[in-house]
C-alpha cells in the first residue's frame, strides 16, 4: 500500500491510499470518490507529463508519499 498526495492548488488536496499495481485510472477513480468529481474529468500530471490511464503506478515509479498535480479538463 502506498499513499499519494494529489493537489490541484485550488483548494483540493487529497491523500489517497492505493496499491502499487493499481493503474492511474484506478487512482483517478479513488480520487474522484474522495473529492466528489467525475473521474473522467481528472488529469494527473507531474510537470508536463500527463499520466495515462492504463499504466500502473509502479511503472510510472510513483512511490509512497509522492505528490501528483491534479488538473481537470
Partner 1 sequence: MAENSATIEETNRMRLKLGLKPLKVGPETSSTQIAEDNMKRHREDEAKKAHEDKVKSRIAKSKNRLELNKTMSGKGLGEASDDDDDGDLYKWTMKSRKKEKERQTAAAAKREKELQELDDAYQGEYDEDQLTGLRVGHDMSDFAEGEERILTLKDSTILENEEEGDELINIQMTERQRLEKNLENKKKKNRPVYSAYDDDEFTSGKKKNLLSQYDEVLGTEQGNDGFVIGKARKINRGGAGDLAGSSSENNGGLSAKEIMNRKLKESAIALTYNKTQQAQDYYTKDEAEITFKKSKKKKKSRSRKTDNWDEEGDQDGDAMEVEKPEPVDISELNFVDDEDLQASLAKARRLATKKTIKKLTPEQIAKNLAESKAMEVEEDFSEKGGLVISDVSEFVSNLASSAVQVAPARPTQTKEDTPEPDSISSPAVAQKAQEDTVMEDTKEETEEDSFRSRTRAESEEAEDIAMVNNESEQAEPETVLAEEPLVSRGLGSTLALLKQKGALEMGNAEQVERSKVQSERAKWLADARLREARLAKEMAQAKARDKDKVRDKNYSIRDRDRDREYENQRREQQLLDERESRMKNYQPDIKLEYIDDSGNRLNTKEAFRQLSHAFHGKTSGKMKTEKRMKKLEDERRLMSMSSTDTPLGMASAFQERQKAAGSAHIVLAVGNRNAVPASLTSSSFGGTTSTLVSGSGSGTMSTASAKTQPSAFSAPSQNAQATMSISGVHAPNREKVTFGLKRKADAAPGSNPEETAPKKTRN
Q: In this complex, which beta carbon is closest to partner 1, that of residue 15 or of residue 52?
A: 15
> Does 18 help bind partner 1 (rule: CB under 8 A)?
yes
The gap from C-alpha 73 to its chain's centroid, in whole angstroms, comes to 14
Specify whether the CB–CB gap between 71 and 8 falls below 8 A.
yes
Tell the residue number behind the cell numbers 495515462, with chain if given: 52
Tell the residue number behind the cell numbers 474522484, with chain if given: 32
Q: In this complex, which beta carbon is closest to partner 1, that of residue 5 or of residue 50?
A: 5
Specify whether the CB–CB gap between 45 and 68 falls below 8 A.
yes
Q: In this complex, which beta carbon is closest to partner 1, that of residue 11 or of residue 73?
A: 11
Binding mask 22-61 for partner 1 (x = CB under 8 A): x---x--xx--xxx--------------------------
> Does 4 help bind partner 1 (rule: CB under 8 A)?
no
Amino acid at each position: 500500500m502506498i499513499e499519494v498526495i494529489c493537489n490541484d492548488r485550488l483548494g483540493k488536496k487529497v491523500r489517497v491510499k492505493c496499491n502499487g499495481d493499481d493503474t492511474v485510472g484506478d487512482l483517478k477513480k479513488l480520487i474522484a470518490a474522495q473529492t466528489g468529481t467525475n473521474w473522467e474529468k481528472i488529469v494527473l500530471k507531474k510537470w508536463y507529463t500527463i499520466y495515462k490511464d492504463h499504466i500502473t503506478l509502479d511503472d510510472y515509479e510513483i512511490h509512497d508519499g509522492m505528490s501528483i498535480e491534479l488538473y481537470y479538463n
